[in-house]
Amino acid sequence: MNRRGLLLILSSPSGAGKSTLAKRLMAWDPTIRFSVSATTRPARPGEVEGQDYYFRSHDDFRALVEDGGMLEHAEVFGNYYGSPKAPVEQAMREGRDTLFDIDWQGGQQIRNSSLGRDVVSIFVLPPSIAELERRLRGRAQDSDEVIASRMEKSRDEISHWAEYDYVLVNEDIDIAEAELKVILSAERLRRDRQPALPDFVRGLNTEFETR
């Protein structure tokens, strides 16, 4: 019997190193499935269906939401974005974990979804606001106004840190990576996620079976 897969939610303000951490985690364990979002916005040149996004019409997207087929969704500038539930459930049955790179609003919706108890959520913080601003400035020649708006968005995201199970302060990316792996490894050892306990254990007290 497979271990039941879990939902690993990674959130952070942009510039805190979340994408790098996600990539490193998936390189470490290729069985982890990355949750690809569905969206109603048109594909851009080079974007691949099912890899970058699932591209859907407004009607199809709305139908999926109404059927309970989205774990979370949101509207951004007139387009919808969301996390389809079916591929996550498929991965869970196969004993594979799904990684979500989403913001606090998406995380909150997934925690409140029918799969909420399978969620492990991690918030990645920069070591300081000054360092975050340095990183945001460092990677593009943007105007002060654009930077200020991104910083405002970051502060808003950071204000939700306390809703997460774990908090990582990404001062050194290698340490943060190690901590991320440690969290996932430990969560896989939780009683209700055990791959296959010896038969004599399950036989002993079926009244405690939770799944």
Name the residues that contact a copy of itself, by CB under 8 A.
Answer: 123, 125-129, 155, 158-169, 179, 182-183, 185-187, 189-191, 194, 197-198, 200-201, 204-205, 208-210
Q: Which residues are annotated as a binding site?
A: 12-19
The residues that bridge with 99 in the sheet, in sequence order, are 8, 34
- To a copy of itself, the closest distance from the beta carbon of 19 in angstroms equals 20
- To a copy of itself, the closest distance from the beta carbon of 93 in angstroms equals 21
SS3 assignment, position 210 = coil
- To a copy of itself, the closest distance from the beta carbon of 178 in angstroms equals 9
Q: Which two tokens stand for residue 121?
A: 């959520």
Residue among 86 and 178 whose Cβ is closer to a copy of itself: 178
Q: What's the N-to-C CA distance of the chain in angstroms?
A: 13
Residue among 146 and 182 whose Cβ is closer to a copy of itself: 182
Q: Which residues are annotated as a binding site for ATP?
A: 12-19
- To a copy of itself, the closest distance from the beta carbon of 193 in angstroms equals 9
Residue among 44 and 191 whose Cβ is closer to a copy of itself: 191
Residues 6+ apart with CB under 8 A from 34: 22, 26, 98, 99, 101
The residue whose two tokens read 């985690």 is: 25
Residue among 65 and 167 whose Cβ is closer to a copy of itself: 167
Q: How far apart are CA 196 and CA 35, in angstroms?
A: 26
Residue among 10 and 38 whose Cβ is closer to a copy of itself: 10
The phi and psi torsions of 121 (rounded to 5 degrees) equal -115, 135
Q: How far apart are CA 56 and CA 60, in angstroms?
A: 6
Cα four-point dihedral sign 157, 101, 192, 185: negative
- To a copy of itself, the closest distance from the beta carbon of 170 in angstroms equals 11
Q: How far is CA 91 from CA 164, 177, 193, in A?
A: 23, 23, 14
